[in-house]
Structure 1
Amino acid sequence: MKKQVIVALALAIGLFSNAQKNELKAAEKAIKSNNYAEAKSAIMSAESLIGAADDKTKAKFYILKSKALYANGAGSNEDQDAAVESIAKAASLNNSKYKSDIEELQINMLNTFLTKANSKLQSKQYKLSSFDFERAYKMSPKDTLYLYYAASTAVNGQDYDRSLEFYESLRDMGFTGAGIEYTAINKETGVEETFDNRTLRDAQVTIGTHMSPKEKKKKTKSAEIIKNIALIYLQNDETEKAMTAMSEARSANPNDMGLILTEANVRLKMGEMDKFKALMEEATKMDPENAELQYNLGVIAADSGDKKAAKAYYEKAIALDPNYGDAYTNMAVLILDKEQAIVEEMNSLGTSAADDKKYDELREKRKDIYKQAIPILQKSLSLSPKNTDIMQTLANIYSSIGETDKYKEMKAKIESIQSGN
């Protein structure tokens, strides 16, 4: 009787093994034909049988499952996530027979996720971009910068719960983002580009597509991460958690200028103007000759609605660094902000003689604002000659004040840059 049981079990195991092999062969064949729907179906059929398989068979199963769900980058978001998990399971089995297959698929998937993430970022699909950066991080957990990008794009996509999760992970792992940034100027576009490492940058310089290689020290992102954690807590009406996050960071780094500005920003969001001003004064006393600090103080003051203070900070930044392009740009923004109230008043006027007179006066006032902004924008453009946003603003102003030749010149420059000439 015992022998019959043993034979029966052995027969059952043999049937399961054959079923596994048949489904895996069917999946493999479908993948080679790019028939991912059929491959997915075969994999799903084999999945219930895989638990008793040996590690070699399991490794092959997880590779094929990942390929079927990944679908060469065309799988659904849900399938892409499952593909990432599946290839991770394959890698965890440490089967030498499939090591190269696993690594090849991992590299392929990573490159696809990064390409998609950057493409969606360029088209301002921030939330979708965040998901692809998250997948890239899961494919290569050592590259924590991908998690940082997932967090920042999630914030831009207003996916605050996911971004908070990522930022807290970055904080807990001690991520700073500090390091060396490798740059070179693209000869064709004239734009300075950043490379992941020196080897890639130097290769482009060697083949002649880029020039003027430089190395810059990356600024730490610690303060930005703490700031966003605190601001998300505030967004969720969790004020106590926001201040706890800030206090812990400040206690560990009491003289960190970035954290001082971050707390000032948080206090501002909370409406605590006295503490906000005290922190601003503390920052200024710590480093009064720092142009970037003065600029950042100007940004915070502008955000708070104190345009007079913002103007003073921008002027101080420019005095300390006459080539601080962003300070000129923001100065122009402050000037042009006055236009909105004038436009609204112009639109509210009627058709009486008095209204016509008032309309002409407001039109001249608006023209004066444009004339104040023009030289500042021109200076900003001279420092950032490829900035099409500045060019477009100048083109709009020239059109409004009737300077047709300058308008055409600016539009021609924009078209030239956008066409890659």
Structure 2
Amino acid sequence: MKKVLLSLALVSISMAFAQKKEIQNAVKAVDGGNNTEALAQVSAAENTLQGKLYLLEPSVLEQYYYAKGLALLKSGKIAEGANVLAKISDLGKTKFYVGKDNEKNKVYFAGKEEADKLGTGLKLKEESFTPSLNANLGNIVNPMLSKISNEAQDAYNAKKYNEAAASFLKVNDLLRAVGQPDQTYEYYAAISYALANNKEEAIKVYQDLINSGYTGVKTTYSALNKKTNARENFDKNTFDLVKKSPDYADFKTETSKSVEEELYDTAASLMIDAEKYDLAIQTLEKAIAKFPNNTRFGDLKLSAYSRSGNSAKLEDTIKEALAKNPSDKMNWSNLGIIKSSNQTPENVKQAEEAFSKALALDANYIPALRGICFNLYLNADEDKKLIDSYNEARKAGKIDEANKIIAGRKVKFEKALPYLERLYAADPKDIDTVSTLANVYASLGKADKSKELKAVLKKLEASK
């Protein structure tokens, strides 16, 4: 039995040694520029580990991330490589829980969550780790950073926005790779894709920025160098030290404005333009919850519901907006138009009330004047129904019913007339308004006024 246990221990030790050797070979290969060999050695180690990275001591785990990430990066797989390399910086922020598993293998669980999940019942000791390969990584990645950031800026200046966006994203990835994450370049990529009218890619990047909590807020620390008379920027710790130096003056701490509302606005606008209405509405609901005083988000939500054809949701959204701002003439007018689309007696009453409130706020508000005329009282679909009903009643010999229908149609014309006249006064060159007003005058027996308007209409049509 002891021999069996001893042989198992030897197998475990030899496996651990093999993995360590493969990873060290991968490091040598990638440092020597042989990326294919590096990835082959990494793959061999991974086949043995079967995802159990906790079997690697932190220094070897760092080498594993270094070799794999750098080989991917040098092979042109920048985003994939950066994701791996970024884990090196995380190692320095992580507590390791070290011990032995039930098979006597040494284990190194990264973080409390992994330890609780995989190390239940084991005796574990908490340890810290300081990565040592960051400096070497910076020496390799920084020249790439400089080259690609210059390419991104040149492409942007040349208005090659798709090209600029792709390069800005590479810069973002490289910064993560060296443990200096800064989503400013991802923000630049989003703007560039939007300028290129590449809605799909722009939406993806804007969503990632929003979901990550990016705000764009940065604090800059600067001071005037008395010897050179030049302003210099510092990190917070250096700034605090420089304050004590007699060589500097005019110390400034400046905080940039948040771009978070802009992110939501642009993302939702792109989604609406791309006809991704459900996604736009979800995004805008988050925006409204976060920035309840930004009326622009409510307007965009109305636009999304309107363009999606969801009139019930559109009506609810308009009512929500009016509850917050009852002095919004546009939303009162929009509510009137929605209610005019299905002319039950109750809807007609509500439409009249909505248009009246809009016009009480602005007596010459053209959208409300047009709405009450053409959507409510002179609605083409409703008028056709009346004419069809009138003709059917006449054919059936129901003269009283036919006369009642015509009388009801006349009442609609009479209600529309004062608003049509105001609309004509506000925009006397609108052909639709002039033509409709001439016909209404004729229907109401105002022949002289109808004749006068028809003369005006003839001149307008001739001048087109």
TM-score (norm 1): 0.46
Over alpha carbons, which structure has the higher Rg? 2
Which structure dedicates a bigger proportion of its chain to helix?
1
TM-score (norm 2): 0.42
